[in-house]
Amino acid sequence: MNFMQPITDTVLQVHDLHTHFLTETAVVKAVNGVSFSLKPGERVAIVGESGSGKSAMAMSLIRLLAYPGKIVSGEVIVGGRDITKLSEAELNGVRGSEVGTIFQDPMSSLDPVMRVSEQMIPPIMRNLGLPRKEARDIAVGWLDRVGIPDAAGRIDAYPFEMSGGMRQRVMIAMALSCNPRLIIADEPTTALDVTIQAQIVELLKNLTAETGAAMLFITHDLGLVARFAHKVGVMYAGKIVEFGSAADVFAHPRHPYTQSLLRTIPNAAGAERERLLQIPGFPPDMRNPPVGCSFRERCAAAQDRCAVSTPELTFRGVDHSAACFLPNGLNDAPAPPKPVKRAIRLSNEADLVPQQDILEMHNLRKHFPGKATFPWSKPKTVRAVNGVNLRMRKGETLGIVGESGCGKSTLARLLLGLDEPTTGEIFIAGIAQMVFQDPYSSFNPKMTIFNIIEEPLIVTGAGTRPERAEKVRALIKQVGLEESYLDRYPNQLSGGQRQRVGVARALALNPSVVVADEPTSALDVSVRAQIINLLCDLKDDLGISFIFISHDLLTVRYISDRIAVMYLGEVVEYGPAEDVFLKPAHPYTRALIDAIPTPDPAIEAQRSINIISGELPSPLNIPTGCAFASRCFKVTDRCREEKPVLVAHSQKRDAACHFPL
Amino acid sequence: MLTYSFNRLLQLVVTTLGVVTLVFFTLRLIPGDAASAMAGETLSGEALDRLRDQMGLNKPILIQYFEYLRNLVSLNFGDTITTGLSIGDLLLTAIPITLAIAVATIVLTIIISIPLGTLAAYLAHKGHKTLDNLITGTAMLVDLMPSFWTALVFLLLFSLTLGLFPASGTVSLDEPVAFLHRIALPVLVLSVTQIATMARITRTAVLEVLSEDYIRTARSMGWSELRVLFRHALKNAALPIVTVVGLSFGSLLNGTIIVEFIFTIPGLGSLLVNGINSRDYQLVQTLIVFYALFFVSVNFFTDLVYKRLDPRVQF
């Protein structure tokens, strides 16, 4: 402990911060009066959906806003000085040395043409006033501390020679290298895989505990907040609408927005699959923020006064405040919205006649030829899908989970016939259609919604023009949109609406199987619930079989009847969703489940988390034994030599492990 | 780096051989040959045939081709057809002059255009539209002016009206000061257009880089705007800039032909124009090969610089 430093009890004080983006056509009021403070060693999460102003707020704190962003008013006190009033030169004395910043995308946040050493050492020399050699030692020390193997050698690597997870570790080492007392992390794990995310979160937790630095953590993931934060601030329309200790806010949310948000995500605790809450309407347009409470148009408890005056943050207990006129938010509404008791109907065994297999994959493989090192050497093969056997019955939903690079998207492409399998066979009764991940780039922007949905009908020559129009109108209603949307263009729709159109297009040809490849990962939490509900309804109403590919295990568990866990192109575990989730048989499944944070601080605190170490091996060099051997905590010599095959583990479950859990 | 250089060098040789081959056969496709051009209308059919024998034009074309290659490799370029002077000697005096003009132009261009373009990019990035528009607009305007026109205007203004630079006179490398004074105006003419192009390219490249995430990272570590601009932004923007510098060398060679002609400078350009005018096959053929060699070499060095600047570049 350094006793020479004056003892102050706040590292950061933000007071009534307003940040606007002065574009040519309008003023976007991104941040509208945010106040909070951070104590040393405290981890505060700011959570909100896209457009809530959380990133603009975080970047304002250290004045890293891009043009035309501008801090209009307010104070940001760091180390006794108001950041908003510092000169450019004074500001440079604060950045890096007093405030470290970790950014979202590790792939683009490091200078691609400079070695890690060139990026890390000069700031240490400058901020700590050290000669190059000592600065280098410190840099190597930090790289070692953040878990970079062979740090002394790797410091001279270029960023492109490292994986995304490693680059984010470098970013963290860089941000912490000058001993800042405050760390701002803007969605530091959003671009990473779940398993790597878990490692990084654990690392950040330990580092803040060791250094005593305070951390402001910007995220949209409520699960991460529960796992990571002491306190949480919920942002909506440029304001903090609720602030308090994480445990308290999750257990007793007071603001209607927080209350709604927590019910849009699948329940972590229970097997009863209650229908997810949909928040009606859209966030306000920040060019013209409404007078009064900005959430009132989407709030079931809204009253007349909400339209007239704006509720301010008021205390609701120790360390807990909310900006709502009602002390208990939605619970005080005259008619609190009841959870719709349309439970998700699980396809039970009796409905599923074995003869009605709708999809079968036999020993499916897809190998891509790699690039040879020399023209005469044999090119290496990427084994993207390496022997998959699965079957699906009519009306069943199969969830496929795994880290990126495990072959789940290649499998989807094979099912749709977009790629030819190298070996193996696929039998589909009927046809398969696809819902894509990104509703922004999977449509032709020059086509109307009508044309987009009609296109598959034209291609297959289905029906006459009036028949097709009739079908398109039926489809758009089926996915819960008005007919008037048919004349619009994709850019006039929100992300959720676009994904509905994507679903409608997939349904146009009456498919028997719909493959949805990460259909919700590009969407905000509240919109995500709408799409999940829609898929559940379609499954019930039309009896369509879904293949739901995702890395979001909670959602997969919620929507699927069965889960197949993939690792390096192979299925390592397969069985009923609840069974797999509650009693994983394969160590990898267990590791995946552990990696996913649950949106409940109470559960998170009690979990014994086994963070999986290492990263996915290159599919170029698949180990001879068990593919998972390099990262498994139960590994033995047998695993390294003898490859386990997928065999029946219990009555309903298959697992590929010599020593199942 | 070594394998990379070797690979590139191999490509350079192959490309040059291709150019030489192409030039040789294309010139043989043109109706009439060197002998008839040399003889004009003075020789009878029989005498012409004797001349052809003498010049080796009656040998099978492939034999001629390989002899030509052998001569090139041993730096024996033969004599001009019309004047009988040694082409090797002519090149030896002309190449340094043209090279001096080209190098001076490139140096001047880089010194002025890159800071100018970077400044414009920075202004645009920070939202100072007026100044940026002024720089960009002027550059655009200058870029549109053809070099023969600027050459004449500059000649009229700086040479004839103001008398600052000579418009004609001897060109000799033995007197460096007089030489520089003599080539100053042609270099200026060539640079003006080049600067305009390069400044615009630099602006675009730097502006794009300035909105990259790693620039924000550099700022977050407390670096000054100047260091962010020159150490991080320009270093990344250098890749497209270097490419354009390499490519603009082609248009620069084009430009030297025009300005050498206008300013009566006995460089490669003047030699080429004279050669074409007098239908001197031998001379023109050699000059084309040399121009091609210049161009290919510049591309070779561009690639090496590129590799040096961007560690990610493969082959």
Going by C-alpha positions, the residue among A470, A525, A530 that lies closest to residue A501 is A530
Look at A512-526, B27-41, B59-73 and tell me which has the smallest mean pLDDT.
Answer: B27-41
pLDDT at res. A130: 94
Cβ-in-10-Å burial (0-12, 13-18, 19+) of B2 comes to exposed
Is residue A164 over pLDDT 90? no
Q: Which residues of A touch B225 (CB under 8 A)?
A: 88
A228 backbone dihedrals φ, ψ, rounded to 5°: -110, -35
Strand bridging mode A27-38 / A12-22: antiparallel
Which tens digit of pLDDT belongs to each residue from B40-95? 666 677 877 887 777 777 788 888 888 888 988 888 888 887 777 888 888 888 99
Q: Looking at the complex, does the CB of residue A110 fall below 8 Å from at least one CB of chain B?
A: yes
Is residue A341 over pLDDT 70? no
Which tens digit of pLDDT belongs to each residue from A569-582? 999 999 999 889 88
Is residue B302 over pLDDT 50? yes
Which tens digit of pLDDT belongs to each residue from A386-445? 889 998 888 889 999 988 888 888 999 999 988 899 999 999 988 899 998 887 788 999
Q: Which residues of B touch A127 (CB under 8 A)?
A: 222
Q: Looking at the complex, does the CB of residue A550 fall below 8 Å from at least one CB of chain B?
A: no
- Sign of the Cα torsion A558, A559, A563, A565 reads negative
Look at the block and give the residue holding tokens 């009555």.
A651
Q: What is the mean pLDDT of chain B?
A: 86
Q: How many CA atoms lie within 13 A of A586 on its CB side?
A: 32
Cβ–Cβ below 8 Å for B236 and A67: no
Q: Which residues of B touch A100 (CB under 8 A)?
A: 220
Instruction: For residue A218, give both structure tokens.
Output: 């910007």
Is residue A53 over pLDDT 70? yes
Question: In Å, how far is B193's CA from the nearest CA of chain A?
Answer: 30
Q: Which residues of A touch B213 (CB under 8 A)?
A: 103, 105, 108-109
Which tens digit of pLDDT belongs to each residue from A528-558? 888 888 998 888 888 889 999 988 888 888 8
Q: Which residue from B minimizes the CA distance to A127?
A: B222
- The pTM assigned to this predicted structure is 0.84
Going by C-alpha positions, the residue among A560, A547, A444 that lies closest to residue A505 is A444
A95 has which bridge partners?
A: A99
Question: In Å, how far is A225's CA from the nearest CA of chain B?
Answer: 24
pLDDT at res. A600: 87
pLDDT at res. A633: 86
pLDDT at res. A274: 75
Q: Which residues of A touch B236 (CB under 8 A)?
A: 111-113
3-class state of residue A507 by DSSP: helix
Going by C-alpha positions, the residue among B252, B287, B263, B240 that lies closest to residue B156 is B263
Distance of CA B259 to the CA centre of its chain: 13
How big is the A-B interface in CB pairs under 8 Å?
A: 77
Question: In Å, how far is B242's CA from the nearest CA of chain A?
Answer: 15
Task: Name the percent of chain A lying above pLDDT 70.
Answer: 93
Per the model's pLDDT, the better-predicted residue between A65 and B84 turns out to be: A65
Cβ–Cβ below 8 Å for A64 and B219: yes
Contacts of A336-344 with C-beta under 8 Å, sequence gap 24+, read: A336/A300, A336/A301, A337/A277, A337/A300, A339/A263, A339/A274, A339/A275, A339/A277, A340/A275, A341/A274, A341/A275, A342/A275, A343/A272, A343/A273, A343/A274, A343/A275, A344/A273, A344/A275, A344/A536, A344/A558, A344/A559
Q: Which residue from A minimizes the CA distance to B309?
A: A113
Cβ–Cβ below 8 Å for A112 and B225: no
Which tens digit of pLDDT belongs to each residue from A278-298? 888 888 888 888 889 999 988
Question: In Å, how far is A491's CA from the nearest CA of chain B?
Answer: 24
Q: What is the mean pLDDT of residues A260-268?
A: 81
Q: What is the mean pLDDT of residues A3-11?
A: 61
Q: How confident is the model at residue B9 (pLDDT cuts 50, 70, 90)?
A: confident
Which residues lie below 8 Å from residue B253, measured CB to CB, with a gap of 6+?
Answer: B102, B291, B294, B295
Going by C-alpha positions, the residue among A229, A228, A231 that lies closest to residue A240 is A231
pLDDT at res. A4: 44
Pinpoint the alpha helices (H) of A46-193. Answer: 54-61, 88-94, 116-128, 132-145, 151-154, 164-176
Of A89, A112, A174, the CB nearest to B221: A174
Q: Which residues of A touch B125 (CB under 8 A)?
A: 67
Which tens digit of pLDDT belongs to each residue from A456-473? 999 988 888 999 999 999
Interface test with B, best of A22, A24, A92 (most B CBs within 10 A): A92
pLDDT at res. A3: 43
Is residue B266 over pLDDT 60? yes
Q: How many CA atoms lie within 13 A of A21 on its CB side?
A: 19
Interface test with A, best of B221, B226, B241 (most A CBs within 10 A): B221
Q: Which residues of B touch A62 (CB under 8 A)?
A: 220
DSSP annotation of A191 reads T
Q: How confident is the model at residue A346 (pLDDT cuts 50, 70, 90)?
A: low
Question: In Å, how far is B224's CA from the nearest CA of chain A?
Answer: 7
3-class state of residue A589 by DSSP: helix
Of B222, B310, B311, the CB nearest to A93: B222
Q: How confident is the model at residue A125 (pLDDT cuts 50, 70, 90)?
A: very high
Q: Which residues of A touch B310 (CB under 8 A)?
A: 112-113
3-class state of residue B83 by DSSP: coil
Q: Looking at the complex, does the CB of residue A66 fall below 8 Å from at least one CB of chain B?
A: yes
Which tens digit of pLDDT belongs to each residue from B277-289? 887 878 888 898 8
Interface test with B, best of A113, A115, A183, A190 (most B CBs within 10 A): A113
Q: Looking at the complex, does the CB of residue A171 fall below 8 Å from at least one CB of chain B?
A: yes
Strand bridging mode A570-576 / A239-245: unpaired
Of B214, B235, B309, the CB nearest to A108: B214
Q: Are A270 and A557 spatial neighbours (Cβ–Cβ below 8 Å)?
A: no
pLDDT at res. A6: 47
Of A67, A68, A95, the CB nearest to B220: A95
Cβ-in-10-Å burial (0-12, 13-18, 19+) of B124 comes to buried
Q: Looking at the complex, does the CB of residue A126 fall below 8 Å from at least one CB of chain B?
A: yes
Per the model's pLDDT, the better-predicted residue between A336 and B100 turns out to be: B100
A28 backbone dihedrals φ, ψ, rounded to 5°: -95, 115
Cβ–Cβ below 8 Å for B217 and A109: yes
Q: What is the mean pLDDT of chain A?
A: 87
Q: Which residues of A touch B214 (CB under 8 A)?
A: 108-112
Of A95, A101, A111, the CB nearest to B232: A111
Query: For chain A, what is the largest distance between any 2 Cα atoms, rounded to a whole number of angstroms?
Result: 84
Of A64, A89, A105, the CB nearest to B220: A64
Question: In Å, how far is A117's CA from the nearest CA of chain B?
Answer: 14
3-class state of residue A15 by DSSP: strand
Q: Looking at the complex, does the CB of residue A62 fall below 8 Å from at least one CB of chain B?
A: yes
Q: What is the mean pLDDT of residues A509-519?
A: 91
Which tens digit of pLDDT belongs to each residue from A294-334? 999 888 888 889 999 999 999 988 889 999 999 888 888 77
Which tens digit of pLDDT belongs to each residue from A217-248? 999 889 899 999 999 999 999 999 999 999 99
Interface test with B, best of A94, A101, A109, A119 (most B CBs within 10 A): A109
Rounded CA gap, A441 and A430, in Å?
27
Rounded CA gap, A570 and A578, in Å?
21
Q: What is the mean pLDDT of residues B237-253?
A: 85
Which tens digit of pLDDT belongs to each residue from A69-82? 999 999 999 988 99
CATH top class, domain B90-309: mainly alpha
Residue-level length of chain A: 661
Q: Which residues of B touch A109 (CB under 8 A)?
A: 213-214, 216-217
Which tens digit of pLDDT belongs to each residue from A351-393? 555 557 889 999 999 998 876 666 666 777 888 898 899 988 8
A182 backbone dihedrals φ, ψ, rounded to 5°: -130, 135
Q: What is the mean pLDDT of residues A87-113?
A: 92
pLDDT at res. A453: 93
Question: What does the domain layout of chain B look like in residue ranges?
Answer: 31-76, 90-309
Is residue B1 over pLDDT 80? no
